[in-house]
C-alpha cells in the first residue's frame, strides 16, 4: 500500500523484510500534503508519520497511531499525561495482538504443528528484538517476566539468596521505586545483609558522590534507577557501574523510565542486570524483561519451578534448562511478548534518539510552564545545559491536596495526571510530603497538551482558592455573630 507521510530526517521505517512478512499488500493512496512512501497494508496507521520540518511535531505526526487519544472524557478532549504510569498503544501493537489470537494462537516450544511453530518463532523473535533494542550481546541474556517487579525479585531471590551473607552491603538510593526496595529488604532479612541508602543532594538528585564514598569491599550489589519516576533526574549509570565493579560489586538498574525514552546500550553501560516493563514502552501489560549477563544468569538457580524450565525431571531431583528458559517456568505471556516485539518495531521505526530529543524539548516546556502556576513546588533538579531532566514533573501546590487537583483536572477538563506517592513513599517522606501530583509526557504528546494542562491547572487552583476564600469569609462572619 502507498500512503502519504510527512518527513522528519532522522526517522527510520520498518525494513522491507518486516513488510514482506505481512500477507496483505493491497495498494491505495491517501493525500494530505505528505510525501508518499510505500508501506504494507497492515502497517497503515502504524508506520511512523514523519513530519515535515517546521510543520508537524513528532507528537502531532504520531497521535493518529493511538486510537485511545481521540476521545472526550467528561465532556472535554482527553489530555493524557500519565505516561510514567503506563503508555498508550499504537495500532501496530493492537493488530499484532489480534493477529496472534486470530491466526496462530498456540503454546510455544511444545509442539511440532504449524501454529505452535509459528507462535514459537514470533515469541523468540520478540526476544531477539528486545536484545537488539538494548544492544545485548546475545538474546539468551533476555528473560521474559510478567513485569519489571518480577524481574527484580528474580535477581533478588536467585542471585541474592545465593550470594549474600551476613554484613554484606546492598546500596540503593532513597529515590528508588518500591519494587527495587522491598525485594531486597526481604532478602536482607533472610541473609543478614545490610541495606544502605544514598540521600539526595541540594539539587534533589541522588548524591552520586556519597554513593561512591559508600562503596567498599562489603558492597555486593548496587540497585539504582536510571531515571527517577518522581524527580525526573537521570543517573550516570556507566560511572556507577565502573565504581561498583572496582570493588567487586554487581549493578542492577531499574530502567523502566529510561528504556521507553532514550537509547540504551547495556554493553556500553556495562551493567550486570537491567529491568524494564513493556507497558511503559507502547507494549502490552503483563510482560517485562530482565537483562542479565549470560555468565551470571548461567550461575543462578531457578526462581520458579514448573514446566519449560527443566532439562530432566526425576522423582527425587530435577535438572534445569539453560537461560533464559531456566527462568521462564510455565506457559509464558506469548501474545504479550509478540505485542512487545511490535512495540519495539514501532519505536525503532521512529528512532529512540529522535524520541529522546523531542521529549527533552517538550519536558523543558512543561517545566517552564509549570513555574507560572502560583505557589507551585516542582520536585527534582531544574533543567539546564548540564542537568538533564526526564519529561515528567512531580509537584504540589501550596495548601491543595494533589488528589483534589487530579480529580478536578479529570472531571472538569479531561486531563489525566497521577496523584499519590508513585510507589516511592521513602522519597516522599524525605521530601517532607506524603504525596504529589505528577504530569508525565511521551512522544505522542504535544505543546498543546501542555498548554491545555496548564490552563486546566490554573483554573483548578483558582477554583480551590476561591472556595477557600469563601470558607474563610464565612468563618469570619460566623465568628463575629458569635
Cite the active site residues: 423
Q: Which pairing describes strands 436-440 and 392-397: parallel, antiparallel, or unpaired?
A: antiparallel
Cα torsion through 347, 353, 356, 359, rounded to 10: -80
The neighbouring-strand residues paired with 393 are: 439
Residues 6+ apart with CB under 8 A from 475: none
Give the CA radius of gyration of the chain: 24
Tell whether omega for the bond before 144 is within 30 degrees of 0, i.e. cis: no
The secondary structure of 330-375 as a DSSP string is SS--HHHHHHHHHHHHHHHHH-HHHHHHHHHHHHHHHHHHHTTSTT
Q: How far apart are CA 136 and CA 348, in angstroms?
A: 16
Q: Is 471 helix (H, G, I), strand (E, B) or coil?
A: helix
The grid coordinates of residue 93 equal 501493537
Q: How far apart are CA 42 and CA 24, in angstroms?
A: 6
Q: Whose CA is closest to 256, among 127, 168, 350, 152?
A: 152
Q: How far apart are CA 328 and CA 318, in angstroms?
A: 16
The neighbouring-strand residues paired with 223 are: 252
Q: Whose CA is closest to 187, among 154, 217, 211?
A: 154
Q: Are 95 and 46 in contact (CB under 8 A)?
A: yes
Amino acid at each position: 500500500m502507498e500512503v502519504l507521510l510527512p518527513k522528519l530526517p532522522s526517522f527510520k521505517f520498518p525494513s522491507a523484510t518486516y513488510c514482506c512478512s505481512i500477507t496483505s499488500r493491497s495498494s491505495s493512496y491517501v493525500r494530505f500534503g505528505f510525501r508518499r512512501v510505500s508501506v504494507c497494508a497492515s502497517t497503515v496507521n502504524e508506520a511512523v508519520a514523519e513530519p515535515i520540518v517546521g510543520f508537524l511535531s513528532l507528537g502531532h505526526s504520531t497521535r493518529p497511531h493511538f486510537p485511545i487519544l481521540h476521545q472526550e472524557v467528561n465532556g472535554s478532549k482527553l489530555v493524557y499525561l500519565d505516561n510514567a504510569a503506563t503508555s498508550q498503544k499504537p495500532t501496530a501493537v493492537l493488530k499484532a495482538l489480534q493477529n496472534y489470537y486470530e491466526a496462530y494462537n498456540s503454546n510455544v516450544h511444545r509442539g511440532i504443528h504449524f501454529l505452535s511453530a509459528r507462535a514459537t518463532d514470533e515469541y523468540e523473535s520478540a526476544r531477539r528484538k528486545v536484545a537488539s533494542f538494548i544492544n545485548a550481546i546475545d538474546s539468551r541474556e533476555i528473560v521474559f517476566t510478567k513485569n519489571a517487579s518480577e524481574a527484580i525479585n528474580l535477581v533478588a531471590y536467585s542471585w541474592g539468596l545465593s550470594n549474600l551473607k551476613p554484613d554484606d552491603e546492598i546500596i540503593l538510593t532513597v529515590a528508588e521505586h518500591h519494587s527495587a526496595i522491598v525485594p531486597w529488604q526481604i532478602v536482607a532479612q533472610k541473609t543478614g545483609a545490610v541495606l544502605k541508602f544514598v540521600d539526595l543532594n541540594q539539587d534533589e538528585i541522588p548524591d552520586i558522590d556519597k554513593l561512591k564514598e559508600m562503596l567498599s569491599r562489603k558492597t555486593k550489589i548496587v540497585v539504582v534507577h536510571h531515571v527517577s519516576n518522581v524527580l525526573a533526574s537521570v543517573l550516570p549509570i556507566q560511572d556507577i557501574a565502573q565504581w561498583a565493579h572496582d570493588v567487586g560489586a554487581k549493578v542492577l538498574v531499574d530502567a523502566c523510565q529510561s528504556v521507553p525514552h532514550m537509547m540504551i546500550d547495556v554493553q556500553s553501560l556495562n551493567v550486570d542486570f537491567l529491568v524494564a516493563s513493556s507497558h511503559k514502552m507502547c507494549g502490552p501489560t503483563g510482560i517485562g524483561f530482565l537483562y542479565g549477563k549470560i555468565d551470571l544468569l548461567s550461575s543462578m538457580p531457578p526462581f520458579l519451578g514448573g514446566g519449560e524450565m527443566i532439562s530432566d525431571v526425576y522423582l527425587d531431583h530435577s535438572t534445569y534448562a539453560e537461560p533464559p528458559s531456566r527462568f521462564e517456568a510455565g506457559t509464558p505471556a506469548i501474545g504479550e511478548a509478540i505485542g512487545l516485539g511490535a512495540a519495539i518495531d514501532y519505536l525503532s521505526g521512529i528512532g529512540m534518539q529522535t524520541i529522546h530529543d523531542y521529549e527533552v524539548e517538550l519536558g523543558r516546556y512543561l517545566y517552564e510552564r509549570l513555574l507560572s502556576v502560583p505557589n507551585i513546588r516542582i520536585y527534582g533538579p531544574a533543567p539546564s545545559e548540564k542537568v538533564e531532566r526526564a519529561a515528567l514533573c512531580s509537584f504540589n501546590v501550596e495548601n491543595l491536596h494533589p488528589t483534589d487537583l487530579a480529580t478536578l483536572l479529570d472531571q472538569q477538563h479531561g486531563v489525566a495526571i497521577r496523584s499519590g506517592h508513585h510507589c516511592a513513599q521513602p522519597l516522599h517522606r524525605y521530601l517532607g510530603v506524603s504525596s504529589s501530583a505528577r504530569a508525565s509526557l511521551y512522544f505522542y504528546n504535544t505543546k498543546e497538551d501542555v498548554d491545555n494542562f496548564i490552563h486546566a491547572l490554573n483554573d483548578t487552583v483558582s477554583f480551590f482558592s476561591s472556595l477557600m476564600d469563601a470558607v474563610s469569609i464565612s468563618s469570619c462572619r460566623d465568628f463575629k455573630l458569635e
